[in-house]
Structure 1
Amino acid sequence: MTTTDHTRTETTTGAAEVAARHLWMHFARMGDHPARPVPVITRGEGAYLYDDRGRRILDGLSGLFVVQAGHGRRELAEVAAAQAETLAFFPVWGYTTPPAAELAERLAALAPADLNRVFFTTGGGEAVESAWKAAKQYFKLRGKPTKHKVISRAVAYHGTPQGALAITGVPKMKKDFEPLTPGAFRAPNTNAYRNPQFDGDPEAFGRWAADRIEEAILFEGADTVAAVFLEPVQNSGGCFTPPPGYFARVREICDRHDVLLVSDEVICAFGRHGTTFACDKFGYVPDIITCAKGMTSGYGPIGAMIASERVMEPFLAPGVSFPHGYTFGGHPVSAAVALANLDLMEREGLNQRVLQHEAAFGDTLRRLLDLPIVGDVRGDGYFWAIELVKDKATRETFDADERERLVRGFLPGALFDNGLYCRPDDRGDVVVQVAPPLICGQAEFDEMEQILRHTLTDAATLI
């Protein structure tokens, strides 16, 4: 380490060059830096971001599906400062703090049925990791030690820790870290666009997709399967919504085979679909919910596993503990901010706002279907994907070189330069995802559509 002047740099060159030398960025190719400067975001206000060149960029991804209430909410920052001054840190390892206890009570009241037991983490991957560990120990405590496996869906993303990554259904995200935690297996997802044999009969598609989960349970042996992990709307692959009847059938299958149903709501909770927990909107009661992201609108890091009383019961026996935890889980500052954020969302009616505007958002994005490169527009709430195709008639997707040019070469920089931050992705087929802050309305929808239209029209010329 060299001695340097640590004065904060405010210029594009300063922060970008420092990042190129010292910052190991997440999910990023760093070999192009510093020749290709690192984008530097300096502040946010409402639904907009500002970079160090003074440009205003519409935040079409809520940071990372996080900033529900928008940027620059002073009241949330003030709550964080007040709590840090009162008590900045203490762990929940056999103790509590007032914010952690109050937040647990609040989440229990908001969660469906008897999901009353809240285990805090610092993020979503940790919540998924915790849920798998809890499911394994739950069945051991019940005298069923062979039930340890997990079923999840193809292309689904559930996090980066070794267990959560094993549950993730994206092989190219896992290959560099194998061998992973054993015991995770896959069933088909609910991508209706890529299952045209069910066009016009979504109920049949739902039955088919749910039955594939039962097929996987039976193939592995029901006496070895502990849990099924499903997102209400699957993120990776591009916002796959559940067909009618799908979750009701999955719930029946899990009950029939004594398997826990985990609703992974790291993205979908806290208003993204117009309800605090998306399982309520889609009509099912899981045994465990995993959540994070929008709980504080990004003003502090926190996540949670919320379990039913049935799951909790064997952990309450004399002499039993759950030997698992995180130093910063239930951090008092983040817990206090989460409470204030939930108050803000309720006061401003953000859930109702999403329900009121989701149809208009979808209709606005569907205007893009007149572009030859746009094959499908799908989603729910404030969580949508535009699938890009080479041939609209055949639904042909792109080859590896074309994906490279589109997803990593052209689209991220072009969208950003045109004033929109969102997510081009090809973990499944090629999509562009948009998930704006919940404060957005028709003006922002129109702005997104216009920028997407201009950028995707240019993108089509690359293929």
Structure 2
Amino acid sequence: MTQHPRHGANSLSARDIANVLHPYTNLVAHRSEGPLMIVRGEGVRVFDEAGRGYIDGMAGLWCASLGFDNERLVEAATRQMRRLPFYHGFTGRGHEPMVELAEMLIARAPVPMSKVFFANSGSEANDSAVKMIWYVNNALGRPNKKKIISRLKGYHGVTVASASLTGLPNNHRLFDLPIPGILHAGTPHHYHEARPGEDEDAFSTRLAEELEAMILAEGPDTVAAFFAEPVMGAGGVIVPPRGYFPKIQAVLRRHDVLMVADEVICGFGRTGRYWGCQALDIQPDILTCAKALSSSFLPISAVMVNERVYQALAAGSESIGTWGHGFTYSGHPVSAAVGVETLKIYDEMGLEEHATRVGARLQSGLRALCGDHPLVGEVRGIGMVAAVELAEDRADRRGFDPARRVAARLVKACEAEGLILRALPNDTVAFSPPIIMSEAEVDAMLDIFGRALGTLTDEIAREARPAA
């Protein structure tokens, strides 16, 4: 593979290595490998410091739904910067962009919602939801009803509470996480987790029964909420079987456990519906969203709560004099103005129809390309999010030795061909392109992926040959 360009001691790459602490990076390896330094974007493509273009098949981090240039969003930010560049929402203050964006979210919510709280990232939104849940149960006189259940392989962020919800080992190791009171239920991945002969319906029934057994073992009077992504993102693009969420929610209702839908990745068309909740039949009490809320042009996230949750928050604030939570930049006027314009663009482009049509091209194209490939164990996805899981043995669904880093090598081969993707656990390669991607651009992306998969196939074949 070619090294990333470095143009002397003062290049962007060299300055990056000298000064930047990168998230989700092997910091020692970074010193020698260096960054892929992106300097501009156009449509679904980004360009590095050498001027080379890449189709960004991950929309940055599942988030740049409108691509990497949009004059309407730039103009919305500029107008708001000139009018009111900052104000806060503390102690009852407000401003027009925050109000308008809240109104638009409530109008578009998948189920009736009452109020919107704004934060700056998905992690902050989920962390805020945890605090709301604890606050609500204290306000309702249920001080023991505080435990929260999420799922193994779920991803909910990296703050202390949201990282504890996350069910991935590397988000816990060396961080002294998870915190007490966070439990993890099973992963709804039929391909790996189903028992022999267990169809999807029976699998979903078993997971619901296991969840209920967990709640009963802990004590229903101690379990407050269940967090779930409609489609698991960073854990491997895991689409649950149809019927899974209705079975899960029947258990939650029996034991008065709140349903929290983490729509940070799935919201705003990613699954082919406006919300992942609509695609997977979820009726949340609390919904968190971020990323595509502003097409990631500026940081912003939101927590929507239903009337029942709001009334408990209000009662608690009345009893002590305040709801003592918030961020300096909650509902930042410039970010909120960009969010308002983003939602208007989604309405005008026919978001669901476009995502469904182009997503069908992505899903069918991946299956045609990889469905019977000897290195591919499973192709999965819905709408504009998909994954290819590699396997050393297709028949018994056995993956490669993790030390071989097969998915990471495939991603590197894609990068060499001009495509950015992401390697996830279990040698899975994820796709989450900008929602604006055209069918022709999907075809171009899959053509590159096919060539890279061919390169990897040749490498694996050479490695399997006995030494001379």
1:189 alignment partner, SS class: coil
The one-letter code of the counterpart of 1:336 is A
The one-letter code of the counterpart of 1:353 is H
| Residue deviations 1:419-442 (CA, integer Å, cap 9, x gap) | 11111112xx11000011111132
The one-letter code of the counterpart of 1:400 is P
Q: Which residue of the partner structure matches residue 254 of structure 1?
A: 252
Structure 2 segments unaligned to the other structure (5+ residues): 1-5, 464-468
1:186 alignment partner, SS class: strand
Partners of 1:98 and 1:50 lie apart in 2 by: 36
| Residue deviations 1:247-305 (CA, integer Å, cap 9, x gap) | 11122111110110000111000111123221122222110001100000011100011
Q: Which residue of the partner structure matches residue 3 of structure 1?
A: none
The one-letter code of the counterpart of 1:343 is K
Partners of 1:375 and 1:105 lie apart in 2 by: 44
The one-letter code of the counterpart of 1:332 is P
Change (3 A) 1:75 1:199: farther
The one-letter code of the counterpart of 1:385 is A
| Residue deviations 1:322-362 (CA, integer Å, cap 9, x gap) | 22111112111000000000001111112210122322211
Aligned-residue offset at 1:137: 1.1
Which region of structure 1 is more displaced relative to structure 2, 445-454 or 385-394? 445-454
**1:93 aligned to 2:83?**
no
Partners of 2:270 and 2:249 lie apart in 1 by: 23
Q: Which residue of the partner structure matches residue 392 of structure 1?
A: 394
Partners of 1:364 and 1:12 lie apart in 2 by: 44
- The answer to whether the Cα contact below 8 Å between 2:129 and 2:286 also exists between their aligned partners in 1 is yes
| Residue deviations 1:379-403 (CA, integer Å, cap 9, x gap) | 1110101001111111111223223
- The answer to whether the Cα contact below 8 Å between 1:61 and 1:421 also exists between their aligned partners in 2 is yes
Q: Which residue of the partner structure matches residue 303 of structure 1?
A: 301
Partners of 1:398 and 1:199 lie apart in 2 by: 24
Change (3 A) 1:222 1:400: same
- The answer to whether the Cα contact below 8 Å between 2:145 and 2:223 also exists between their aligned partners in 1 is yes
Partners of 2:410 and 2:337 lie apart in 1 by: 38
Change (3 A) 1:420 1:13: farther
Aligned-residue offset at 1:172: 2.7
1:285 alignment partner, SS class: coil
Partners of 1:10 and 1:326 lie apart in 2 by: 40
| Mapping of residues 27-426 of structure 1, within 5 Å | 27-94=24-91, 95-197=93-195, 201-317=199-315, 318-320=318-320, 321-366=322-367, 367-403=369-405, 406-408=406-408, 410-426=409-425
Partners of 2:30 and 2:195 lie apart in 1 by: 46
Change (3 A) 1:101 1:181: same
Partners of 1:177 and 1:147 lie apart in 2 by: 26
Aligned-residue offset at 1:196: 4.6
Aligned-residue offset at 1:36: 2.3
The one-letter code of the counterpart of 2:389 is E
Give me the TM-score of the superposition, normalised by structure 1: 0.93
Which of structure 1's runs of 4+ aligned residues deviate more than 6 A? 9-13
Give me the TM-score of the superposition, normalised by structure 2: 0.92
Partners of 2:17 and 2:231 lie apart in 1 by: 36
Which region of structure 1 is more displaced relative to structure 2, 36-45 or 385-394? 36-45
Partners of 1:11 and 1:346 lie apart in 2 by: 47
- The answer to whether the Cα contact below 8 Å between 1:20 and 1:30 also exists between their aligned partners in 2 is no
Change (3 A) 1:212 1:196: closer
Aligned-residue offset at 1:34: 4.7
Aligned-residue offset at 1:312: 0.6
- The answer to whether the Cα contact below 8 Å between 1:375 and 1:389 also exists between their aligned partners in 2 is yes
- The answer to whether the Cα contact below 8 Å between 1:192 and 1:199 also exists between their aligned partners in 2 is no
Aligned-residue offset at 1:63: 0.8
Partners of 2:117 and 2:192 lie apart in 1 by: 37
Change (3 A) 1:40 1:204: same
Partners of 1:89 and 1:439 lie apart in 2 by: 30
Aligned-residue offset at 1:234: 0.9
The one-letter code of the counterpart of 1:20 is I
1:203 alignment partner, SS class: helix
**Percent identity of paired positions between Structure 1 and Structure 2:** 36
| Residue deviations 1:194-222 (CA, integer Å, cap 9, x gap) | 13536673222221222222222112111
- The answer to whether the Cα contact below 8 Å between 1:12 and 1:40 also exists between their aligned partners in 2 is no
Change (3 A) 1:198 1:364: farther
The one-letter code of the counterpart of 1:202 is E
Structure 1 segments unaligned to the other structure (5+ residues): 1-8
Which region of structure 1 is more displaced relative to structure 2, 356-365 or 60-69? 356-365
The one-letter code of the counterpart of 2:22 is M
- The answer to whether the Cα contact below 8 Å between 2:65 and 2:435 also exists between their aligned partners in 1 is yes
1:280 alignment partner, SS class: helix
The one-letter code of the counterpart of 1:375 is G
| Residue deviations 1:109-153 (CA, integer Å, cap 9, x gap) | 111332121111100001110111111111111111101111111
Partners of 1:206 and 1:115 lie apart in 2 by: 28
Number of aligned positions between the proteins: 450
Q: Which residue of the partner structure matches residue 440 of structure 1?
A: 437
Partners of 2:249 and 2:161 lie apart in 1 by: 23
1:197 alignment partner, SS class: coil
